[in-house]
Chain A
Amino acid sequence: MSRSLSRRALLRGAGVALSLPWLASLAPKSLHAQAAEVRRRFLPIYLPNGASDLWLPAGSGSGGAWQLSSILEPFGSSLKPKLNVVTNLENGSVFNSDGSGYIESSHGRLGGAWLTCVDAAAVRSQLQRDEANGISLDQVLAQHGSFKGKTPFDSLQLGLSTPLSNCDGQPCSSSRSVSWASPTQPMYKLVDPLEVFNQLVGATAHSDPSGAAALEAQKRMKRNKSVLDAVLENAQRTRAQLGASDQQRMDEFLESVRSVERRVVGLSSSMNGVACTIPRPYGLPSVAQSAQAPRQTGPTYDKGLHADAMNDLIAMAFECDLSRVISYMLEDERSEFTYDNVAERAFTAQGSTPKGGGCPEYHTAQHEGGDVFATITWWNVGKVADLCRKLDAIEEAPGVSVLDNCVVLFGGCMHGGDHQGDRLPVALLGGHNLGLKNDQHVVLDKRPLRDLYFTLLNDVYGLGANDFGQNLTGAPATRVSELLQQG
């Protein structure tokens, strides 16, 4: 299916095409596609609290040799051909020299290591900071020359968490942010769809055609510039009188101001344009309106709508090429959201059937295990499947979808109710055009999670990295060749 107004219009029932400035050329889309490089994308999706044991597929190998489990069933026959389930990855060797999966406090520490593969506590004590971690995989990519500056947002961080999660005794950034731009800079995610929409559209909004409106837009830019110039000038002056660690804080501030400035005074308008249409924010739920963040679905909040809106926005960001690296948290680690909107199901290894009654609070469900935990995992899988189908429906070159040009890394930091950092739930979707094999259940001999990341960095994104993360057993990072077309 090609990008078209009608497809987008279906999205919200009230879609509207905004023509972006660089679209004025009206170049035929096929020409566009031919001229364009392959847009390599990365979309890590975080599943909090581990997965139900029923995640594990039956059989191993490729094609007919393996079947979706009852938890992974929402991927269905349409996505199974684009799926890899990777079993027996562990992240315990980041913490334990014997490579064991046991780690306390598990939510906070394993969560922090999910995309960095380092022990944040060790970095904190080394740097003598209250908050620190390694640089996360998505940020290694976003900061690399093959991504940086190619799109208005080098990366985006999104999530669905509404109540503030319990941080498990660790700095909250460990369980609320999977992306780290530097050892001391966690990237906080946006959870409000309206805010995300405004940011994305704001990045494309230097488009006004002519006349009085153009003049007004010019003035608005000048006003913004005058405000930010004053802010920057004064902050520089203050910086000179600060101690060393406060100077670092101030640099972080200055960098944030400059990033905003690039957008609000129009310095980023020279991006390569892509034909796409933007859904009107009609019906986007705002989660920021209520005084207290919703802890469950109620009259003013619906987790399902929230997830659907975020799926639309991620698809739009990729389709419009506003960003190529997006990390997305379905909830914070150790989430205590109550999924009372999700009817509990009765699970067997073969499938599931509705049972009725809402699901309890996530973290309690994880510990109870059984059907409630399986149902929440299954529901999250369903939302990821929806997103992948959207991405697969956007054709980017003949026979190549956005999903084929994207590695969706879907998984969590711990096995499940046992809190162990081994036998991690890991699935890869898409990436076929980037060199990944598909339609496999790869059962490894216990391997570190960082081996997977090392493989993605080098063999999918071509960064030529020597290493990623740490492994206290001393084993070097090695490639997971089972995943590669050119193993």
Chain B
Amino acid sequence: MHRLSSTEYNATVQDVLGTKLQPANDTWRGGELAGFDNIASVLGVDEAQYDRYFKAAQDLATEVLASDATRARVVSCPLSDARCIQSTIETTGLRLFRRPLQPAELKTYRDVYDAARQLGDDETASLTLTFQALLSSAEFLYRVELDPKPDATEAHLLGSYELASRLSYFLWSSAPDDALLQPAADGSLTQPATLSAVVDRMLDDPKAERLVTNFAGQWLGAREVPSHPAIPKFYQWTPPVALAASQEMFLYFADFLKSDRSWLEFPTADFNYIDGELTYLYGIPSGLTGAGTFERIEYHDDQRAGFFGLAGFLALSSFDRRTSPSRRGRWIASTLLCMEPPPPPANVPKLPGDAQGPEGDASTLDVRQVLEEHRQNPACANCHALFDPYGLALEQFDAIGLYRATYDGGAPINDTVTLPRSASHPEGVTVQGLSGLSRAVAADPNFASCVVKKLLTYGLGRTITAADDAHLQRVQQNWLAEGQTPSLRRLIHTLTESEAFRFRRGGT
């Protein structure tokens, strides 16, 4: 059972009921794990949360039937006709439960209608109460996948409606639409050709934007960029600039989702999405003014290319007052390469200058030198060697992503580093600066496998364990097979066709 996250709940009622009400907010019970807020195991429910559901159901049902526009979507016959009540409960039930109601269920909800009529409520009020019951039900609030043999633990093929829900919550963060319920109804969705066509249609639908905001927004941190703080010294980091930097990350990712570009170009592709705000931040000549109108440009004189050149990433991986090669490096290692270094030991000393009030003076330090001193301590060195080099290679970009030739005090920047060993470079490889780093990361096999793992975690809404290794490897092999461009779109196809996606492990 997979309780809808707040995002999914709001998207679902919007898509199914056509309402503008968005009842779920940040005070609703959520939970994140493995970097995502849609992980079923930490999405529990309690009295307070059910109370919110119960009240929201009442508000939604009332609003939907009160306004003509939304009412027409769910009621298409005169309510005075008894058959109309039945068919209305049936169709709305199908959309809300994402599967047809069983006869016994139909009766359960029909009883709600009849009870209301007996209390003297009119047809609309009685139907409102019935909708409230549907919207308060576990079968709506959770995505339920049945286990025909409750005690068996071997994997079994999902039903076609269950598969439709997996697809729609993965790609749209929402319920299946009528066009998706169709191949679920006739069972054709479980055929590879139909599934593939369905996935293409879904990725081309505007609702796939939610995959960008919810998957990339959380994985790459783009959602956090607008609230990322910087001290006043970085006066260029205004709220509109921070917002634009976040938008740019979304657009950059979406470019890979919409095109057939290889995912392996994600670290290196030389284009930006800029608006007037970012023009100013990057110093890119353009006619753009103001915020919010973005243009895709390829401008090669700005020393930046690829994901690592995006201001949003560069700021997010820095402190508010200075760059932190350790933080940036660790971000790259854990986020893009799925390598989790162990936590730091006790009593880590502060870098000099960090404790000197909000202005600090750390930005004038040669951070590289300070880190090297820190690494004289062997206990620290072993660990830092696993991620610092990724960050040190990007030292020519300051804490909000501006290019700098030297540190503030005039000290030169040394961005030549030897990266940790990897499968592609068992001895480690020496690279320089952003361009060297981005090519090395793109070539690292962990970069390709990491996106598979992140996408599978998000797509299934559960943590990935050692038991999934074989699935992951198979998906990766199919995706990276010779003769095909390993695009993000192709990965999504490969993933949705995989056993991990179409089968359900009992007991999970």
Contact = CB atoms under 8 A, between A and B. Distances in A.
B42 A130 contact: yes
B39 interface: yes
A104 interface: yes
A348 interface: no
Contact of A243 (B49, B105, B121, B150): B150
Contact of B138 (A192, A238, A244): A238
Contact of A223 (B119, B145, B147): B119
B32 A172 contact: yes
Interface in A83-137: 102, 104-105, 129-131
B144 interface: yes
Interface string B490-508: 0000000000000000111
Interface of A: 102, 104-105, 129-131, 157, 162-164, 167, 169, 171-173, 184-188, 190-192, 195, 199, 219, 222-223, 226-228, 230-231, 233-235, 237-238, 241-247, 249-250, 252-253, 256-257, 259-260, 264, 287-288, 291-293, 295, 338, 360-361, 364, 367-370, 418, 420
Nearest to A257: B50
Contact of A256 (B32, B50, B120, B345): B50
A368 B362 CA distance: 13
Contacts of B104: 237
Contact of A171 (B42, B136, B148, B354): B42
B146 interface: yes
Interface stretch (B22-30, B307-315, B447-455): B22-30
Contacts of B109: 230, 234
B193 interface: no
B339 interface: no
8 contacts: A171-B31, A173-B42, A185-B46, A195-B27, A230-B137, A235-B137, A242-B1, A244-B150
B111 interface: yes
A243 B508 contact: yes
A164 B7 CA distance: 14
B46 A230 contact: no
Contacts of A195: 27, 52
Contact of B33 (A130, A184, A242): A130
A163 B26 CA distance: 8
Interface string B164-197: 0000000000000000000000000000000000
Given A102-B346, A199-B48, A219-B119, 7 more contacts: A130-B33, A171-B33, A195-B52, A227-B57, A234-B108, A238-B138, A238-B146
Given A172-B31, A188-B46, A245-B508, A227 B150 contact: no
Given A131-B31, A243-B150, A231 B46 contact: no
A169 B341 CA distance: 12
A109 to B, nearest CB: 10
A323 B39 CA distance: 33
Contact of B51 (A171, A234, A260, A292): A260
Nearest to A156: B48
Nearest to B320: A364
Contacts of B355: 368-370
Contacts of B369: none
Instruction: Report the 7 A-B pairs with minimum CB-CB distance, sorted nearest first.
Output: A130-B41, A104-B343, A243-B147, A102-B346, A259-B47, A256-B50, A293-B26
Contact of B26 (A105, A257, A292, A369): A292
Interface residues of B, number: 68
A130 B42 CA distance: 7
B347 interface: yes
B313 to A, nearest CB: 18
Contacts of A102: 345-347
B47 A234 contact: no
Most B-side CB within 10 Å, residue of A227, A288, A367: A227
Interface string B466-508: 0000000000000000000000000000000000000000111
Contacts of B111: 226, 230
Given A195-B27, A238-B139, A293-B27, A227 B33 contact: no
Contacts of B45: 252-253, 256
Nearest to A131: B42
Contacts of A370: 355
A162 B27 CA distance: 8
Given A102-B346, A242-B146, A244-B151, A226 B44 contact: no
A404 B227 CA distance: 44
B463 interface: yes
A226 B506 CA distance: 34
A69 B52 CA distance: 43
Contacts of B145: 246
Contact of B39 (A130, A199, A245): A130
Contacts of B133: 226-227, 230-231
A399 to B, nearest CB: 36
A199 B51 contact: yes
B112 A230 contact: yes
A195 B52 CA distance: 9
A371 to B, nearest CB: 9
A105 B50 contact: no
Contact of A228 (B52, B136, B147, B506): B136
A167 B34 CA distance: 11
Contacts of B121: 223
B298 to A, nearest CB: 33
Contacts of A243: 147, 150-151, 506-508
B98 to A, nearest CB: 13
A247 B150 CA distance: 9
A219 B145 CA distance: 36
A428 B463 CA distance: 40
B116 interface: yes
Nearest to A226: B115
B12 interface: no
B100 interface: no
Contacts of A131: 31, 33, 41-42, 44
A186 B41 contact: no
A360 B33 contact: no
Contacts of A104: 343-346
B19 interface: no
Contacts of B44: 131, 184-186, 249, 252
Contacts of B318: none
Contacts of B57: 227
Nearest to A245: B507
A190 B116 contact: no
B251 interface: no
Contacts of A173: 31, 42
B234 interface: no
Nearest to B344: A104
A227 B49 contact: no
Contacts of A238: 138-139, 144, 146
Contacts of B358: 360
